[in-house]
Amino acid sequence: MALKTGKQYLESVADLKLEAHMLGRKSGDLGEHGLVQPSQKAVAFTFDAAHDPATRDLFCVESSLCKAEINRFTHLHQSAEDLVNKVKMQRYCGAGTACCFQRCVGLDAANAIYSTTFECDQKHGTDYHQRFKDYWSWIQQNDLVVDGAMTDPKGDRGKRPKDQVDPDLFLRVKERRPGGVVISGAKLHQTGMLNSHEILVMPTLTMRPGEEAWAVCCAVPTNAEGVRYIYGRQASDTRKLEADPLDVGNPFGGQEVMTVFEDVFVPDERVFLDGEVDFSGTLVERFASYHRQSYGGCKVGVGDALIGATALIAQMNGVAGASHIKDKIVEMIHLNETIFSCGIACSATGEATAAGNYLVNLLLANVCKLNVTRFPYELARLATDVAGGLLGTMPSAADLNDPVAGPYIKKYLAANPDFPVVDRMKVLRLIENLVAGAGAVGYLIESMHGAGPPTAQRIMIGRQADLEQKVARVKNMLGLV
């Protein structure tokens, strides 16, 4: 099948007839729903970019499985160059949408599962790797969107999965039937789930002996029987329902849901890990590292949009020439490019796995993500500083269009005469969206908790830094015993 266009993608998702509980009611026709439509538009951007002559070479690549031309968002990385191009692609998408474009999790999950299943088969004599190759070749040939689902509710954080009062607080294999398994549980914070065709379910932590039921990895269609979706609120999310797009701030957007798996049957050919606790940690670690690399691209792209909007509002406010404004914008650029540098570094130093696809440098990927837990917040602070207090007090589009209030708004919100008042309001709304509104979920909260919170990166950095070798080299240099 040929690469989908954005329009064809939207049609294919509509054909799934997904439903979700949203703001107290069950909703269908999600592509027409104001809370979902902006996020589907962001995903469609990733399809159209594969047809744009300016970006086609970055987004299109030959599959190592089916040998057909595919979208890089379904690619199994075959070189360090592929890893680098992934980050460049993500930056382009982030800059073009100023939001999460929702295809990274599935891409990162696929690459982690590919190498993990290969090694599991080598040790245990299972056939998970061939199952996954067949499945993922089908994904590539049909140009599908896959959401990775890792984060369990976790219940009492002081207890292991087997010790929870409710065993479903970590997703598990509840029952075995001829030809497959039945899974039960939930996954939280699922970005872009309502815009996906498929789900890759993964364990959320390293399982131990006795926790085999929770060591499960499998693929489930988003419209499978027993899968339910509950929309997660975002700051100012009902802005997306405004009649005038001016108050929305960004025509693109994201959404997250709680995904419930209520006794969902998964056939054997879609099961890629089932009780092998010794490989659950490998899968988690590799997925997390790929996803931490991703943030060196996607969050940088959103940062590009925020920097551009900040520079533009400085011009509109008439302060672009002030030295302190210039310095703040340069600091924003410095922080953003530092993140990008880490994303490129962990990619360029990636190495082949036993399965043949490439894995990022684990240490540098975690350094990248740890920077992401800090720098976007500073970028947001600087953008807020430069933009001014109008971010929090600007009148609505309805008042702008009001025959009585509108003229006052246009008179008193005028600044640099080279820019129309309405254009200034549009830029302020975009900045507001990114630093305090619905867009801040994808840019700030996701920067902190997506792919794991700061402590998770610190743990990995401590493991990967080879501190003992550093100590040994100093001892050797100084002739110490």
Is 295 one of the annotated active-site residues of the chain?
A: yes
Is 100 one of the annotated active-site residues of the chain?
A: yes
Which residue of the set 46, 97, 191, 259 is catalytic? 191
- Does the annotation place 349 within a ligand binding site? no
Residue 162 CB neighbours (<10 A): 15
Q: Of the candidates 316, 131, 110, which has an alpha carbon nearest to the alpha carbon of residue 198?
A: 110
Which residue of the set 120, 217, 298, 346 is catalytic? 298
According to the 3-state scheme, what is the secondary structure of the chain?
CCCCCHHHHHHHHHCCCCCEEECCEEECCHHHCCCCHHHHHHHHHHHHCCCCCCCHHHHEEECCCCCCEEEHHHCCCCCHHHHHHHHHHHHHHHHHHCCCCCCHHHHHHHHHHHHHHHHHHHHHCCCHHHHHHHHHHHHHHHCCCEEEECCCCCCCCCCCHHHCCCHHHCCEEEEEECCEEEEEEEEEEEECHHHCCEEEECCCCCCCCCCHHHCEEEEEECCCCCEEEEECCCCCHHHHHCCCHHHCCCCCCCCEEEEEEEEEEEEHHHEEEECCHHHHHHHHHHHHHHHHHHHHHHHHHHHHHHHHHHHHHHHHHCCCCCHHHHHHHHHHHHHHHHHHHHHHHHHHCCEECCCCCEECCHHHHHHHHHHHCCHHHHHHHHHHHHHCHHHHCCCCHHHHCCCCHHHHHHHHCCCCCCCCHHHHHHHHHHHHHHHCCCHHHHHHHHHHHCCCCHHHHHHHHHHHCCHHHHHHHHHHHHCCC
The Cα–Cα gap between 277 and 296 comes to: 30
Cα dihedral 85/86/87/88 (nearest 10):
50
Is 446 one of the annotated active-site residues of the chain?
A: yes
Which residue of the set 92, 128, 229, 295 is catalytic? 295
Is 104 one of the annotated active-site residues of the chain?
A: yes
Which residue of the set 93, 99, 104, 120 is catalytic? 104
Which residue of the set 291, 346, 358, 373 is catalytic? 291
Q: Of the candidates 77, 234, 63, which has an alpha carbon nearest to the alpha carbon of residue 137?
A: 63
Is 358 one of the annotated active-site residues of the chain?
A: no
Q: Of the candidates 131, 287, 260, which has an alpha carbon nearest to the alpha carbon of residue 205?
A: 287
Which residue of the set 93, 100, 342, 346 is catalytic? 100
Structural contact between residues 294 and 104, judged by C-beta atoms closer than 8 angstroms: yes
Which residue of the set 198, 211, 256, 432 is catalytic? 256
Is 66 one of the annotated active-site residues of the chain?
A: no
Q: Per the annotation, where are the binding residues?
A: 191
Catalytic residue positions, numbered? 100, 104, 191, 256, 291, 295, 298, 446
Q: Per the annotation, where are the binding residues for FAD?
A: 191
